[in-house]
Structure 1
Amino acid sequence: MTEETRMIAMGTRPLMEGFALLGFEIWPDADTEDLKNLLSELIQNQQKTLLLLETYLSRSSCPLLADVRIHGGQIIVTEVPAINAAHNYHPFVEDLVVKVLGSHSLGNAS
């Protein structure tokens, strides 16, 4: 029997309500302690997971999150911007691409 991938979204309630409509398991108004507890469970159970984190959680100093990002494995983590800040959103990977390839690589004039 094939194990299902868990699709989980953590962040502020208004944004999470949208992900609930898409079938995600949601953790509205989650904090870093919630994130730590969830990651501990996912690691212990070795569950395949797509985990969407709102920026305030994705950029938190949670040691387990850093470990998941470094070592990879069954958990894919991606960041989503706050619902009211999508127009100003710049993902972490954008800074890395600019640092390695230069601003022209993203079509920026800066």
Structure 2
Amino acid sequence: MYCRLTSNGYIRDGFINGVNEFIHFASSKSTFMWENKIICACSRCSNNKFLNFDKVTERIFKRGFTSAYTIWSLHGEHDVGQSSRSRDRVESYASNDEHEEYGDLHMKRK
């Protein structure tokens, strides 16, 4: 889930699924939100800024997740077992048809 780009610079399906799983999970934890915003887990914001769901999604697609943020503790996840189950679900999370809008995204490498 944390490996964002293919060797050709396209966003991996598994990454798209993982971001959607993350947003779905974070949106279900209202006690970890502020004014209907969540903490942005992109590599630049590094869990230091509250943004709306669309902006967080966009930033994670563009920049990737903050380094080593595999247990989403600032978004309501509590234990390693839950994180492992989340990663397993990510791999089988929905068909590719649901993510057609992202399928042709090409990200420029820095």
State the TM-score, normalizing by the size of structure 2: 0.23
- Higher-Rg structure is 1
TM-score, length-normalised on structure 1? Answer: 0.23
Q: Report which structure shows greater RCO (CA 8 Å, sep ≥6).
A: 2
